[in-house]
Structure 1
Amino acid sequence: MDTKHIYIKDFNYPLPEDRIAKFPVKERDHSKLLIYRHGEVSEDVFYNLAKYLPTDSLMIFNNTKVIQARMHFQKETGALIEIFLLEPAEPSDYEQMFQTTGHCSWSCLVGNLKKWKTGSLVKEFCINGKTVQIKATLRGEYGTGLLVDFDWNDTTINFAEIIDCIGELPIPPYLNRETQDSDKMTYQTVYSKIKGSVAAPTAGLHFTDRVLSDLRNHCIDCEELTLHVGAGTFKPVKSEMIEGHEMHSEYICVKRKTIEKLINYGASAIAVGTTSVRTLESLYYIGLKLQNNKDLHEEDLHVNQWEPYADNSMELVSPIDALKNILEFLDRKGLDALHTSTQIIIAPGYKYKIVKMLITNFHQPQSTLLLLVSAFVNGDWKKIYNYALSHDFRFLSYGDSSLLIP
């Protein structure tokens, strides 16, 4: 299949507004679960997930945490300006960024930009009983956004504390509602740890401590990785064929321990969510790069969008050997974790290397996430979505879940 020449219109389906879940179910693990197993479709409740999974298997979660990335400023003229944090620029490391004091810079989207051409925006707020003033200054274009400098007058307060105080959680635009206090809890997974995402890895929203305990009781090993979800996850495919769509690049981090576990499990994993899929499958191509050039540096390991579809006569490396190449790289560099980025697009024609089962929600029509699902179930996505539409499943971020076993 010529993946680049796939027509996105072939991945459309009718999604009535009333099927988009505006809020989650009261108890996370009481959402519906569609089971697609070797072409057959059935349903259950999410808290019964473990009984459909093989014992002695490895499940991988994305432990990213959504930040309160939407900031509101008001000019002296009264104009309202929204600054949406995309990714850190100075410092570029996420962990350093959230600990920084006094000054930092972000790549941002700016709402009502035409009203903010010059000058700085100032906001005053109270934190820990102290009055703090933060100033935002527009510096120019930067990557896919605009570079904004932030300066504040209290160096005992870090940037994480500032956005926790004055930022707003950025729920998906298709919910067509304002963020509510309840979203601060319901739009985070129970295992979220590492701050950096501007959207939740929503397949994980169904998990509870009870479900995680049940997985362990069924001898299912659980490991984590990090992919910080960018705003590009909501970017629609506007080109007629997918070769005209540019994927967003996202930061990933995979610990040595997780790679060792993957090797121990024969480079086979159950992925929770499309972000885990994109990270795990990217590992193969990182290992392939290292097979061909052991002198690469971490910044050289970025996975480009179309890399998996190149004429790769060298793609004879097994997934296990690719993972071993990454371990050897970490050893040479004295690193405990792999830090890089991926722009991978997974669409029909892609051959999965590591992910054997997938837990995921129901995605928007004509989206790259639907392409990923179609590739995973060998083109059988319409059977899954027709069942979900005719059996009262709820769709998108706060909707129901599916377990896909090709």
Structure 2
Amino acid sequence: MSTAPARFTAADFDFALPPELIAQHPAPERSGSRLLDGRGDAPLDRRFRELPALLAPGDLLVFNDTRVIKARLYGHKASGGSVEALVERVLPGTHEVWAHLRASKSPKPGSRVRFAGRDAHAAFDAEVLGRCGPDGSLFHLRLPGEPFALLERHGHVPLPPYITHTDDADDERRYQTVFARRPGAVAAPTAALHFDADVLAALQARGVGSASVTLHVGAGTFQPVRVENLAEHRMHSEWFELPQATVDAVARTHREGGRIVAVGTTTLRALESAARGGALRAGARDTDIFITPGFEFRVVDRLLTNFHLPRSTLMMLVCAFAGFDRIRALYAHAIRERYRFFSYGDAMLLDRR
């Protein structure tokens, strides 16, 4: 559901980005990345390791503890045609998955696709059960074994489409947060990639609390909005789970005057989705929440986020959170100052306006 005022169209969230500012590799050290402090009247250029000093004792950081799976597979059909798959969702308690398939001709239900990993001699066959997903764009596949184990053995790190190199061992380590716990994401919660053991220890020493949610980030996070009228955009769906312990921590923090700091847009989406009925409610469910200017935030007071793609739903989300004009000004500053953009890029700290 869109909450965008009529005066906004998708074109309002477009911007020109020099291609060389799209980060192809992470910073040498996680917390050595840059941090654009956008809370005040004027932007301040900082380093991410300064974050603990910018938060107050009693604030609560909420992290997304999802773990990126090796969701990209390469294989071929019985006819010999090549197939590339991106697993979007592992169906709990089964050997079945939903996946995007790229092939010259879509495989038919009942056919099989053979996927091979880096070792061509190690391969497995997947049965195509049919089309699936909210709009029928995904394929329902049955695998011959436990999906997470097969993906770990045969799959590739699902780097975003704007990262041009083939995944390697460094990507296996760095396109993953240091606290990743629950497998299921096909894209990293990128704001959390900047945290390392030293920053986490400094936050704890300062008296900043922490809590977690799980939202398995889907490939739809990279899709631009292709309609000008935002009310016509069909939002992708993602699964999330909010523990009761996090609900209690949020209530306690607000009651005691602290701020809720969402680490990334995925965490914000989970928290605000869980509060759509008014009160924050624990549990597991899907969300297709579309946050645009005019949205009423109920939970999150401060947002730590990376820089987002033009015309993307996440660009619209940060504009809703911090203000359209402020975000445009901050992005212009970041481009002038040569910040690094997108998943492996730098971060920004925002207050709710």
SS in structure 1 at match of 2:131 = strand
C-alpha distance in 2 between matches for 1:214 and 1:191: 16
**1:331-370 correspondence runs (5 A):** 338-370=283-315
Aligned amino acid, residue 345 of structure 2: G
Label 1:241 to 1:151 Cα distance change in 2 as closer, same or farther (>3 A): closer
1:378 matched residue in structure 2 = 323
Distance 1:111 1:62, change over 3 A: same
Return closer, same or farther for 1:381/1:269 CA change in 2, 3 Å cut-off. same
Per the alignment, residue 3 of structure 1 pairs with 4
8 Å CA contact 2:37–2:349 kept in 1: the answer is yes
Deviation at 1:107, TM superposition (A): 1.4
Q: Tell me, what secondary structure is at the counterpart of 2:38?
A: strand
Could you tell me how far 1:194 is from its partner in structure 2? Answer: 0.4
* Contact in 2 for aligned 1:4/1:241 (Cα 8 Å): no
Cα deviation, residue 132, structure 1: 6.7
Q: Which whole-Å CA distance do the structure 1 matches of 2:286 and 2:263 have between them?
A: 19
Asked if the contact 1:79–1:115 (Cα under 8 Å) also holds between the matched residues in 2, the reply is no
The answer (yes or no) to whether the contact 1:136–1:148 under 8 Å persists in 2 is no
> What is residue 280 of structure 1 aligned with on the other side?
271
Pair 1:381–1:76, CA change in 2 (3 A): same
Tell me what 1:45 maps to.
47
Distance 1:114-1:2 versus aligned 2 partners, 3 A rule: closer
- Aligned residue among 164, 176, 188 for 1:200: 188
- Match of 1:135? 125
How far apart, in 1, do the equivalents of 2:176 and 2:44 lie? 28
Question: What amino acid maps onto 1:65 in structure 2?
Answer: R
Q: Closer, same or farther in 2 for the Cα pair 1:215/1:125, shift >3 Å?
A: closer
Once the two structures are superposed, residues 343-376 of structure 1 have per-residue CA deviations (whole angstroms, 9 ceiling, x without a partner) of 1111111121111111000111111111111111
In structure 2, the residue corresponding to 1:33 is in which secondary structure?
strand
| Alignment-derived partner of residue 75 in structure 2 | 73
- Per-residue CA deviations over 1:306-335 (Å, capped at 9, x if unaligned) read xxxxxxxxxxxxxxxx13xx3xxxxxxxxx
Asked if structure 1 preserves the Cα contact closer than 8 Å seen for 2:88 and 2:218, the reply is: yes
- What is the TM-score of this pair, normalised by structure 1? 0.80
Deviates more, 1:163-172 or 1:104-113: 104-113
5+ unaligned residues in a row in structure 1: which ranges? Answer: 98-103, 289-321, 327-336
Please identify which structure carries the higher helix content: 1
CA gap of 1:122–1:37, structure 2 versus 1, over 3 A, is closer
1:401 to 323, 347, 351: 347
- Residues 126 and 175 of structure 1: is their aligned pair in 2 closer, same or farther, counting only changes over 3 Å? closer
CA drift at 1:113: 4.9
> 1:134 touches 1:150 (CA, 8 Å); kept in 2?
no
CA distance in 2, matches of 1:62, 1:126: 30
| SS in structure 2 of the partner of residue 82 of structure 1 | strand
The structural deviation recorded for 1:77 is 4.5
Larger Rg: 1
- The offset of 1:158, in angstroms, is 2.9
Cα separation, partners in 2 of 1:215 and 1:117, compared to 1, 3 Å: same
Q: Is this contact kept in 2: 1:361–1:402, CA < 8 A?
A: yes
Counterparts of 2:41 and 2:320 in 1: how far apart (Å)?
14
Please give the root-mean-square deviation of Cα atoms over the aligned residues, in Å: 2.1
Letter in 1 for 2:96: S
Pairing of 1:143-292 with structure 2 (within 5 A): 143=133, 144=135, 145-152=137-144, 158-266=146-254, 268-286=259-277, 288=278
In structure 2, runs of 5+ residues without a counterpart are none
Q: How many residues align?
A: 342
